Structure 1
């Protein structure tokens, strides 16, 4: 059985996917995906996301503010932190995030992103729930803020990982974090990422779709969905020269180790 450790079910377009949410979840189940983590990107989106997946016992949820959405928030950072603290304390919420730093798309909001990220780390410690981290072109600052905030206490994952092997090793060695692999690993031009996957211990890997984006081979060009996480697992198995069953068993165990309340 497989787990999609990071998806955005509320963002999947039924017309593009050719299926409604119930059918998408059913397709995942039929493909031996036993659990999905639906990840929040803004506090404004949280209520609708929570409602959309409430009927599915095999879907857990997170709460957080993605770094690319921080600058567009109409809520001051202090108020945003108070609301985040309230929502992440809910029993239904198993993780804090998606949070982190992205200097690739919005370097101009670097300071605001850092303030938001620091709040998420502090709150994760307070509610004792793991962090879901987005990081792009911000390796040093991401690791520094995680270390300074003692993020090793709640734990966490660098999701949809595309950064360096050095960063992955530091996240594992210094913070005991997990590294999550998406469909990007199957892309033709992703050899460096595949080399990184090969070098990392399976015991620290998760798999994800990040759907509806980044559909893996052989589904490129389609609306991504949790059923396709099996193709991500196949890619990991091929890269590491191990069986699909081993990838499924270990990454599923890793997921429940990190997200113990799922």
Structure 2
């Protein structure tokens, strides 16, 4: 049984065959998913998918690339949606220094506001980080994000930062890049992260794992991530599946249905 902690089945890339994608995930043993909404269009669709599928849950937040578009109105909207019974996290949020749509100071302000909101509604947070690790860790510390903890989503940085994340009550989530032949960083991280603080994800439709790299990613492929982690940690595939599912249940405070 697998838990894909970060999917974007709510985006247009799945409009033509979403039901088939979900069916393939079930066949691959993916029972649970968190559908992540990150803007005006994707947030309602994330909640709708969670309402329609018993073992789907939603996360609601504002992506750092679009931070410049977020107002107090959007923040209040996210707070309102946080009360929905299928919403289990706030995010994805964070910093993205790769794209230049939103100035860094605006991204930081929106990031801090969402951490504050998560603490108010008592939900964990999902962190998007692109080329901004040190600033993210500094803000998480300053905002006392350890009060809610959360996920370092699709972690792709040095293992030198892992302990800082663990100390702040965060889980490390690995995705497709851990399977890439020349991706040393996530492989090193997979080896050092304690099994009880590890999560897996696809971030579909992005970052498809080997041998599907470059194609549209989908939740069924999270099994390839689990297989690679099992190889790197020199443990069984079943151990990885069981531990990462239990970790996600614990973080998101989910009680599985009988």
TM-score, length of structure 2 as denominator length: 0.93
CA drift of 1:92 comes to 2.2
Gaps of 5+ in 2: none
Picking from 22, 25, 36, the partner of 2:19 is 22
What's the Cα RMSD here? Answer: 1.7
CA drift of 1:197 comes to 1.4
CA distance in 2, matches of 1:85, 1:256: 22
Q: Which residue of 1 aligns with 2:98?
A: 104
Does residue 81 of the first structure (1) align with residue 78 of the second (2)?
Answer: no
The answer to whether the Cα contact below 8 Å between 2:49 and 2:56 also exists between their aligned partners in 1 is no
Gaps of 5+ in 1: none
Q: Which residue of 1 aligns with 2:232?
A: 239
SS across alignment from 1:10: coil
Q: Count residues in correspondence.
A: 255
CA drift of 1:108 comes to 5.8
Bigger relative CO (Cα 8 Å, ≥ 6 apart): 1
Does residue 153 of the first structure (1) align with residue 155 of the second (2)?
Answer: no
CA distance in 1, matches of 2:101, 2:182: 25
SS across alignment from 1:179: strand
The answer to whether the Cα contact below 8 Å between 1:237 and 1:243 also exists between their aligned partners in 2 is yes
CA drift of 1:104 comes to 2.2
CA distance in 2, matches of 1:43, 1:168: 32
CA drift of 1:53 comes to 4.4
CA distance in 1, matches of 2:12, 2:155: 21
Does residue 13 of the first structure (1) align with residue 13 of the second (2)?
Answer: yes
Q: Which residue of 2 aligns with 1:47?
A: 44
CA distance in 2, matches of 1:58, 1:31: 15
Q: Deviations over 1:36-78 (max 9, x none)?
A: 100011134312332244311111001000101212x2x53x3
**Correspondences of 1:198-217 after superposition (within 5 Å):** 198-217=191-210
The answer to whether the Cα contact below 8 Å between 2:66 and 2:101 also exists between their aligned partners in 1 is no
Change over 3 Å in CA distance of 1:50–1:136 after alignment to 2: same
